[in-house]
Amino acid sequence: MANCYLVTGCAGFIGSRVCEMLLADGHEVIGWDELNDAYDPRLKQWRLERLRQHSRFSFSQIDVADQQAVERAFPKQIVAVVNLAARAGVRASVANPQVYYRANCLGTLVLLEMCRRYGVKKFLLASTSSLYGAHNPVPYREDTDTNRPLSPYAASKKAAETLAYTYHYLHGIDVSVVRYFTVYGPAGRPDMSIFRFIRQIAEGEPIVVFGDGTQRRDFTYVDDIARGTIAALRPLGYEIINLGGDRSVELNMVIAEIARLLNKQPTVVHQPPHPADVPATWADVTKARTILGWTPQVPIEEGLRRCVEWYLEHREVMRTIRLGNG
């Protein structure tokens, strides 16, 4: 049965892919995005133009933390809010924590209140593996302690998760919290390592690695993340679910594989580790497998190949995209 969904952050990396998959399944999608300049807006416009080609997609430029704007525009016909609007990024949140709290905490609260007011029964919140900090053993389980976040970004997502639970408890809203692990893929965020490494190695620019490159990440391909997000729209009560690649790989391995795919020799510049970074991430995805029937399907080697092919196809524009935040 076709439904109508509100997807916030629809021009974002993950949000745009979730929209595409919902549209492909025959649903209607109302997309909201602030279109801020947290990273080069041309990439957001590129994604948005692809979505605008669908007749069942409509777009409004809205900041979810702007309560008056949300109240004016909130659609009454939706079956769920898919809240992917957020400020993301560990290091940038240390430099500018206020914008993270506005988007991630206040924005979540405004949307939850609209769901309560208009009887929207399903709320999905995108969260992050950054909540697990540095004190927990890997792989991370959802019931692991998340009370020691290392960055304002992680702390803001912890606050959003807690708000979502409160609205579930008080008002019966069905909530799925999906914790994402290092998402990558074509048209990915240019402040993330894989986009930067591909661009810099392809163009003969030096790449900066914080630390010695032995830090490990559970890289997760965007299509797998989008599938898991949509699967979590089913009624669950209140559940926190890891979505990860179920494999932790060294950053040095990723750099070497990108260099091999591009047939280029990388120039690596090492800088001291950032205090907000963790040495390793790795998702235990048993819960997602059990209650969603979800499992990651795209291994890192295949995902990197797709990313490199995409970059080379769109190279004339993507070589000029601003890397990093701000």
DSSP string computed for 13-25: HHHHHHHHHHHHT
Comparing C-alpha atoms, which of 280, 323, 319, 176 is closest to residue 238? 176
Give residue 274's pLDDT: 81
- Closest CA relative to residue 96, chosen from 160, 15, 37: 37
**pLDDT tens profile 101-153:** 999 999 999 999 999 999 999 999 999 999 999 899 999 999 999 999 999 99
- Domain ranges within the chain, ordered by starting residue: 4-318
Please report the pLDDT score of residue 132 as a whole number. 95
CB-side neighbour CA atoms (13 Å) of 18: 30
Active site residues: 153
The pLDDT value given to residue 326:
37
CATH node for 4-318: 3.40.50.720
pLDDT of residue 297: 98
Phi, psi of 69 (to 5 degrees): -65, -40
* pTM (two decimals): 0.96
Instruction: Please state, as a whole number, how many other Cβ atoms lie within 10 Å of the Cβ of residue 24.
Output: 9
Say what percent of the chain tops pLDDT 90: 91
The helix or strand, by DSSP H or E, that contains position 126, with its residue range, turns out to be strand 122-128
Amino acid (one-letter) located at 89? G
For residue 136, the model assigns a pLDDT of: 92
- Residues in the chain where the model's pLDDT stays below 70: 325-326
